[in-house]
């Protein structure tokens, strides 16, 4: 029950609905056990005694009992479901909030499909047990206790004979629980992996089709599906082995009841109506005991689901905000790195090694180097997506950890290499970081990003609804909308992570010209593979394997004859060869 204790804060505040549901269940169970007693009276006091004048009264009592049971059943089921729905509503909200707070390090290893599975199937599995499992367990307990009490009232010897099989049935149920819980945990894991495979395939459908890898993807999906099927069959096999055994023990108990009960009726120690009532009551015990397998099934599924939900809820939030964190609207944007080292995981090499530089307000810093050299890592430390292993990252002379996360990140305009757009209008995408912006503000930002003209050419302009991930726009158009989004928040620090990589040379020139005005008074970091994008920077940092190997102005670096000049020669000599070949032709 440790899982349920840890998740108690989510369902315990709504316990009143649960208790009222259980209170209604008391009426349902009590009336259910009265049925065999009515049957016993009908046989012994009416039929055997030929007192047929009592039949109308018995019928009226029976109808009244059924009406009461129907009303009680309604409240029991409605309040139980309400309890489960209300509890997981809060749980799902907290899970989603937790996912917003978790650091980038968590998402480096997480699978989208698996997270989606936890927020849907696992939450629903836990809800189902809250709504049905707890109350079903109470119903089973009440039925067994009340039925046994009535059976002992009718005949102590016959009740003891009936109970003789109960320990064996209980042992089988215990063994069933031991084996079925690990099996259901495997099912949940394989279902999460299956979801991940589907999500990745749909997201990468353009790549799959362009490379004609449909058959390969079908094969990978079938592997995951086979794993899921195999785990489910294993669980079904456990159920198939234990349920007939439970039923066999129950039937042995019934045979013993009929044999010994028949003897007592013949002997005169037991009335016929009491034996018939006994026969009904024994199924009120055996049925719930065998149904206990179903409850254990639910319990095992909910435990497996709860464990997966707790893995999210208890995930470590590495990036914590101080209680006295600085909260202010505007920062100056003075960025300093003081001997900073960053390692993403313990077993990996350092992504950054002893990085130091100073970027006063209004400075433009260019970052260039091969893929994996640490360019993006520098900007992710400024926004505090990760914490440095050694050294300090300062903004306006204070460690970034001193600022509230919203204060820090609201002052940083970030344009990622892969622009993500939401399935909403172009206006709402641009205004995502500043939802209070007017349409005129949005248009002004779009014009600076050279996006206004192509937006106005669309049928509904800024109200055009985009498809998933900006489907329907070219890479360059998506990039310019992302740039407009960053401009609109009026950041003190502007980060352009290869922001013009998806545009042609002419559009890049137009954007650079527009950004030149936007970058005035802002500290700007330009990550680029094209030297043309950063040659006007106030300082260019050349990185190799996490270290700064060169720094300086464009002209100075060309004179050094180092890595920067080699990059320049590769890019511009190729252009000269192309121009020469075109002139010859």
Which one-letter DSSP state was computed for residue 402? G
The pLDDT of residue 510 is 64
Same domain, 431 and 299: no
The pLDDT of residue 469 is 65
Same domain, 306 and 447: no
- Phi and psi angles of residue 364, each rounded to the nearest 5 degrees, phi first: -110, 120
**CATH code at 179?**
1.20.1560.10
Query: Per the structure, how many domains does the chain have?
Result: 2
Strands (E), 287-388: 335-342, 352-359, 364-369
Same domain, 306 and 422: no
Half-sphere exposure in the Cβ direction for 171 (13 Å, CA): 6
Strand order in the sheet with 352-359: 352-359, 335-342, 390-395, 398-399
- What whole-number distance in Å separates Cα of residue 366 and Cα of residue 360? 14
Among 255, 278, 313, where does a domain finish?
313
- What whole-number distance in Å separates Cα of residue 421 and Cα of residue 219? 31
Question: Is the residue at 373 inside a domain?
Answer: no
Which residues is 359 bridged to in the sheet? 335
Structure tokens at 442: 């949005």
Same domain, 303 and 425: no
Question: Is the residue at 361 inside a domain?
Answer: no
Structure tokens at 47: 């039929």
Among 432, 466, 490, where does a domain finish?
490
How many other C-beta atoms are found inside a 10 Å radius of the C-beta of residue 181?
Answer: 17
The pLDDT of residue 368 is 92
Q: Are 330 and 412 in contact (CB under 8 A)?
A: no
- What whole-number distance in Å separates Cα of residue 448 and Cα of residue 488? 10
Question: Is the residue at 117 inside a domain?
Answer: yes
**CATH code at 453?**
3.40.50.300
Sign of CA dihedral 270, 275, 281, 287: positive
Which one-letter DSSP state was computed for residue 394? E
Among 313, 343, 359, where does a domain finish?
313
Question: Is the residue at 514 inside a domain?
Answer: no
Question: Is the residue at 12 inside a domain?
Answer: yes
The pLDDT of residue 302 is 84
- What whole-number distance in Å separates Cα of residue 276 and Cα of residue 585? 106
Q: Are 481 and 429 in contact (CB under 8 A)?
A: yes
**Where are the alpha helices (H) located in 384-438, listed in sequence order?**
405-410, 426-430
Burial 550-563 (b: 16+ CB within 10 A, else e): bbbebeebbeeeeb
Question: Is the residue at 431 inside a domain?
Answer: yes
The per-residue pLDDT string of the chain (585 residues; one tens digit each, 9 = 90 and over) reads 688 888 888 889 998 999 999 899 888 888 888 888 888 888 888 878 778 888 888 888 888 888 998 999 999 989 998 998 899 889 989 998 888 888 888 887 777 777 888 888 888 888 888 888 888 888 888 888 888 888 888 888 888 887 777 788 778 877 777 787 678 778 877 877 787 777 677 666 656 665 567 787 788 888 888 888 888 888 888 878 877 887 787 778 778 888 888 888 888 887 888 888 888 888 888 777 767 767 777 787 788 888 889 988 988 888 888 888 888 888 999 999 999 999 887 767 788 999 999 999 989 999 998 888 888 899 889 989 888 989 999 999 999 999 998 889 889 888 777 777 888 888 998 998 888 889 999 999 888 888 898 899 988 899 988 876 667 787 778 888 888 888 888 889 998 887 666 566 676 676 666 667 677 788 999 988 878 778 889 999 999 989 999 999 998 998 888 889 888 888 776 554 444 444 433
The pLDDT of residue 585 is 37
- What whole-number distance in Å separates Cα of residue 315 and Cα of residue 100? 12
Same domain, 309 and 422: no
Which one-letter DSSP state was computed for residue 423? S
Same domain, 176 and 49: yes
Helix (H), strand (E) at residue 412: strand 412-415
Question: Is the residue at 364 inside a domain?
Answer: no
- Cα–Cα nearest to 480, from 429, 410, 523, 517: 429
Question: Is the residue at 67 inside a domain?
Answer: yes
Same domain, 424 and 305: no
Query: Domain containing 459: what range?
Result: 418-490
**Which residue in this structure is represented by tokens 């319990």?**
299
How many other C-beta atoms are found inside a 10 Å radius of the C-beta of residue 295?
Answer: 20
């Amino acid at each position: 029950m440790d899982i349920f204790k840890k998740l108690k804060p989510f369902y315990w505040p709504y316990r009143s609905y649960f208790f009222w549901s259980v209170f209604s269940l008391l009426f349902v169970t009590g009336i259910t056990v009265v049925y065999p007693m009515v049957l016993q009276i009908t046989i012994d006091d009416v039929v055997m005694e030929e007192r047929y004048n009592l039949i109308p009264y018995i019928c009226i009592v029976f109808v009244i009992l059924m009406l009461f049971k129907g009303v009680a059943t309604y409240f029991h089921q409605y309040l139980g479901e309400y309890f489960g729905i209300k509890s997981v509503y809060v749980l799902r909200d907290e899970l989603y909030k937790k996912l917003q707070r978790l650091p980038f390090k968590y998402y480096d290893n997480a699978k989208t499909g698996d997270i989606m599975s936890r927020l849907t199937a696992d939450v629903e599995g836990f809800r189902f047990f809250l709504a049905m499992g707890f109350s079903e367990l109470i119903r089973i307990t009440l039925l067994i206790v009340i039925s046994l009490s009535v059976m002992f009232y009718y005949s102590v010897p016959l009740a003891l004979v009936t109970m003789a099989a109960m320990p064996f049935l209980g042992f089988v149920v215990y063994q069933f629980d031991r084996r079925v819980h690990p099996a259901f945990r495997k099912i949940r894991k394989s279902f999460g992996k299956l979801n991940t495979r589907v999500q990745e395939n749909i997201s990468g459908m353009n790549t799959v089709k362009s490379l004609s890898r449909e058959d390969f993807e079908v094969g990978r999906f079938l592997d995951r599906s086979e794993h899921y099927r195999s785990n489910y069959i294993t669980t079904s096999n456990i159920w198939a082995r234990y349920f007939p055994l439970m039923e066999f023990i129950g039937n042995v108990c019934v045979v013993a009841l009929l044999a010994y009960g028949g003897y007592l009726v013949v002997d005169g120690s037991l009335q016929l109506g009491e034996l018939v009532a006994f026969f009904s009551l024994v199924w009120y015990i055996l049925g719930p005991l065998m149904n206990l397998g179903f409850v254990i099934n639910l319990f095992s599924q909910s435990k497996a689901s709860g464990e997966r939900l707790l893995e999210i809820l208890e995930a470590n939030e590495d990036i914590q905000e101080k209680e006295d964190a600085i909260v202010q609207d505007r920062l100056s944007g003075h960025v300093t790195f003081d001997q900073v080292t960053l390692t993403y995981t313990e077993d990996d090499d350092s992504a950054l090694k002893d990085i130091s530089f100073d970027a006063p307000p209004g400075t433009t810093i260019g970052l260039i180097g091969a893929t994996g050299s640490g360019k993006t890592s520098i900007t992710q430390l400024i926004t505090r997506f990760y914490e440095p292993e050694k050294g300090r990252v300062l903004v306006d002379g204070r460690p970034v950890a001193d600022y509230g996360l919203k204060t820090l990140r609201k002052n940083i305009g970030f344009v990622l290499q892969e622009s993500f757009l939401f399935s909403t209008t172009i206006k709402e995408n641009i205004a995502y970081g500043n939802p209070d912006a007017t349409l005129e503000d949005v248009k002004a930002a779009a014009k600076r990003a050279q996006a206004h003209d192509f937006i106005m050419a669309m049928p509904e302009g800024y109200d055009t609804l985009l498809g998933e991930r900006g489907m329907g726009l070219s890479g360059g158009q998506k990039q310019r909308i992302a740039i407009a989004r960053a401009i609109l928040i009026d950041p003190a620090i502007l980060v352009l992570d290869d922001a013009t990589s998806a545009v042609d040379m002419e559009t890049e020139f137009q954007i650079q010209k527009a950004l030149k005005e936007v970058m005035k008074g802002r500290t700007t970091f330009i990550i680029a593979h094209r030297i043309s994008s950063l040659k006007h920077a106030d300082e260019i940092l050349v990185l190799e394997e996490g270290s700064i190997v060169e720094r300086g102005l464009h002209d100075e670096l060309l004179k050094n004859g180092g890595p920067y000049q080699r990059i320049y020669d590769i890019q511009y000599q190729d252009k000269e060869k192309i121009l020469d070949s075109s002139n010859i032709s």
